[in-house]
Amino acid sequence: MDATSDDTVPLFSIAREWGRIGIIGFGGPPAHIAMMRRRFVEEREWIPARDFEDGIAATNLLPGPASTQLAIFCAWRLRGTVGAVIGGLCFILPGLSIILVLAAVFLAVHPPPWIEGAAAGAGAAVPAVALQAAAGLIPASWARTAGGRSARIRWIAYLAVGGAAGATLGPLLVLVLLGCGLVEIASSGTGRSGPSRRRPSAAFAPLVAPALAAGGLVSLAWVAFKVGALSYGGGFVIIPLMQHDAVHTYHWMTAAQFLDAVALGQITPGPVVQTVAVVGYAAAGVLGGLLATAVAFAPSFLFVIGGAPHFDRLRHNAAVQRFLTGAGAGAIGAIAGSSIPLALSLGHLWQVGVLLVAAVWLLVLKRPTVPALLGAGGLGVIVALAGGPVPH
């Protein structure tokens, strides 16, 4: 798969069109993909439909935020490395600007009561959003288990292990996901024999202890790196990857504030992974937000720019497919498992009621996420203005 490497699409046009999607791109990856397909394939006819679909398939094989990587890939397809950098930045920066402003408001030392109520209400809906995200990923992941009964049993085991890890292990979750992928390779016999199968987990294990021991920006960079380079299974896997570190290990924010961070990542345009900017802001202000964002998204640029010419081979590599089958199922379980500590962090009975309403809206009625979070925030404002209890 090659870039066109011509000047038929001006770089200004890439900046304008990718920035436009970054500004109006509410609704997460499905909405982003639909907007890109409509604008780049159907209206502008810049990218052939088959190449666009191949880009979706290839970026779904990579760790990190898939819709961001697709945006980078589309820009790379038109104007190579320079186009990829411009397109990716213009897709990311609008939402980043908005979420940093909101972080400053919601994480203020003494925010107005209605802000606290809105945050508490929207945060109460987040566990239901996590369950919805996990449920939405199950069909495609289950479809990978075409190898028969043993493959399905392993998939269920990865799901269960991931769920337990997402609920309890926190910063070590990434090793569990890597382990699920490596076990699937070993079980299928498609990987190389010998110690090389353990290299990914062995390579990352020495990084964990120093990062946990260090403080400040080094720790923040490590948390952001896990989000950007080691997250398999969709943007929502960032919740279990970040929650324990942000709340319990480094105490950058309270459990209620972390719920606010996840909610802000959902209701702002652009990639959901920008939740990491709120965590960075809580850790070290605007500098922390910018650092966390840069570290989290840098792997996506490197993966796409360096790997796009080889995407065809990646898609047909049996070991890669097996790894993603295991790691992806583990990630789905982790996303679902993260809803447990998220729900347990709710501090008031009315928040439990909001959570139940959100669960019915999202899981039973299967309605969109953004209205659920906005409605939950509205209920929180009503509670706060009525003098009800809200987290501080």
129 touches 372 (CB < 8 A):
yes
| pTM of the predicted protein model | 0.80
Nearest CA-CA partner of 324 in 196, 188, 199, 202: 188
What's residue 214's pLDDT?
46
Is the model's pLDDT at 135 over the cut of 50? yes
75 touches 84 (CB < 8 A):
yes
For CA atoms 272, 296, 315, 306, give the dihedral sign: positive
pLDDT (tens digit per residue) in 164-219: 998 887 667 888 888 999 999 998 765 444 433 334 444 444 444 444 444 579 99
- Residue ranges of domains in the chain: 11-92, 95-385
What's residue 66's pLDDT?
86
pLDDT (tens digit per residue) in 257-310: 999 999 998 888 988 889 999 999 999 999 999 999 999 999 999 999 998 888
Average pLDDT over residues 218-237: 83
List CB contacts of 114: < 8 A, sequence separation 6 or more.
381, 384, 385
For the chain, give the percent of residues with pLDDT over 70.
89
22 touches 93 (CB < 8 A):
yes
Query: φ, ψ for residue 292 (rounded to 5)?
Result: -60, -40
Radius of gyration of the chain (CA): 20
Is the model's pLDDT at 349 over the cut of 70? yes
Supply the mean pLDDT for the chain: 86
What's residue 201's pLDDT?
40
What's residue 7's pLDDT?
56
What's residue 171's pLDDT?
66
User: What DSSP line would sit under 219-259, residue for residue?
Assistant: HHHHHHHHHHHS--SSGGGHHHHHHIIIIIIS-SS-HHHHH
